[in-house]
Amino acid sequence: MPYRSCLAIVLAAGEGTRMRSTMPKVLQPLGGQALLAHVLTAARAAGCGKTTIVVGRDHDAVAALARELAPQARLVEQRERRGTAHAVLAAREVLGARADDILVMFADTPLVRPQTLTQLRGALARGAAVAVLGFRAADPSGYGRLVTQGDELIAIREERDATPGERAITFCNAGLMALAGSHALAILDAIGNANVKGEYYLTDAVAVARARGLRAVAIETGEDDVRGINTKAQLAEAEAVLQRRLRAAAMEAGVTLIAPETVFLCADTKLGKDVTVEPNVVFGPGVTVEDGATIRAFSHLEGAHVGKGARVGPFARLRPGTELGADVHIGNFVEVKAADIEAGAKANHLAYIGDARVGAGANVGAGTITCNYDGVAKHRTDIGKGAFIGSNSALVAPVTIGDGAYVGSGSVVTKDVPADALALARGEQTVKLGWAKRLRQVKALGKKVPKKRA
Ligand code: UD1
Ligand code: MG
């Protein structure tokens, strides 16, 4: 097929009042990313080289995220909400620039897959001027109905404006639409607002196109593809759909998920081949796990990189800035933050390692804490390769433990330890021979134990 250029117009000017949230709807997270991010990713994957995002008045947070996610995209403001066609026309300038295909997308419909968008574009390539995405709704109420005749789409009727006969139709408008660039502006400009709401409906593009002798078609897709999100409950339903997709994709790529339905992934989670994820693991944004690593049950990872063959958990927490080298072991109840744990190093039990480097092959004993915060600023701990940190040590940063050095258990280390040295920083032990035996004898005689004996 000959190349066709594509422009995406993403409508993100909605108020999202039904979310009952101070956060704008299109910034709400799904799979760890804003709804808007999903839509922009799908548009890009479907070959839209250019994107225009229509934002509402005073939606600074939306505009800021849009700039961050798509620095090349154009942002336009829809000052008043006067309907979906009015919103598209806020992008009038780019509509005139004549892309072959124009894809109108809703920022609150984040599950649409690139292949579905490609199908819509395909209909334009075959000569339609308007291609609308439709689905069979279990409950069609609230949706525009697609009035069809054979392959032809005759009209879209908004529920408010529909006759009882039209309301009985279950083939519904998903909202997404592709318009031939050569006709888009003329069609949109011809849309009026003679309807119950007095709004300019994008859906009227169908009737307008047909009146001009142009073709309109409906492309059918599954309901999951086009779930619109208006409430927190719908956000949760969409999350469930996305999680199923992400788990299936991970398994398809060679990841073992022992109980897939208990593992939560982010849209950007990257899991290598032969990675095993045990039940009840949660991946926050920004996690990469290299081949052959195992994430054991009940672990929580976020902003972390796990090297080849490493073992994490059970019950481990990796926070942002965690970098685990190959074959590292991070065991139960260990928290790691902003730390490089080099190849083969181990922290197997009950530790906090933050703002630190742990050199290759070093061993961090149970109960070790890097005391990285002095109440004002954060400081670094540097543990050399092959070092051994005895259990229950507190390493008071900034502090350096040299290569191969030992720290005795229970030490509070406040000064640097040279390579290959032993540091002991704890109260010396005193031993009183026979003391316990004497105590028992005194008690057996029924005497009061003198207070100061110990
Ligand atoms: C729209 C469709 C309906 C379809 C449904 C699918 C129209 C007229 N109706 O109805 O046929 O079944 O979606 O979910 O298109 N927006 C703006 N500016 C506006 C108005 C809307 O940016 O002035 C944005 C909204 O933020 C939203 C999208 O456009 O992302 C759709 O608007 P909404 O009010 O939700 O339309 P629906 O009534 O759901
Ligand atoms: Mg809607």
Using one digit for the tens of pLDDT, what is the confidence trace for 342-372? Answer: 999 999 999 999 999 999 999 999 999 999 9
Which of 18, 26, 58, 84 best tests ligand 1's pocket when mutated (most atoms within 8 Å of CB)? 84
How far apart, in Å, are the Cα atoms of 116 and each of 45, 51, 135, 219? 11, 18, 12, 9
Which is more confident, 48 or 1?
Answer: 48
Closest atom, ligand 1, to C-alpha of 201 = 8
Which neighbouring-strand residues pair with 417?
401
Contact by Cβ (8 Å): 200, 191: yes
* 84 pocket-lining for ligand 1 (C-beta < 6 Å): yes
Give the residue-averaged pLDDT of 424-451: 91
Ligand 2 center to 1 CA (angstroms): 34
How far apart, in Å, are the Cα atoms of 255 and each of 265, 295, 452? 12, 11, 64
Query: For position 234, what pLDDT does the model report?
Result: 95
Query: For position 452, what pLDDT does the model report?
Result: 63
Contact by Cβ (8 Å): 413, 393: yes
Which neighbouring-strand residues pair with 153?
148
How far apart, in whole angstroms, are the C-alpha atoms of residue 435 and residue 438? 5
Q: Residue 422: which H helix or E strand, with range?
A: strand 422-423
pLDDT digits (tens, 9 = 90+) for 213-231: 999 999 999 999 999 999 9
Closest atom, ligand 1, to C-alpha of 56 = 22
Closest atom, ligand 1, to C-alpha of 14 = 26
Query: For position 98, what pLDDT does the model report?
Result: 84
379 pLDDT band, cuts 50/70/90, is very high
Task: Return the minimum-mean-pLDDT range out of 132-141, 271-280, 297-306, 327-336.
Answer: 132-141
Is 374's pLDDT higher than 80? yes
Query: For position 449, what pLDDT does the model report?
Result: 64
Tracing tokens 């999350």 back to the chain, one arrives at 239
Question: Global pTM?
Answer: 0.92
Q: What is the average pLDDT score of the chain?
A: 96
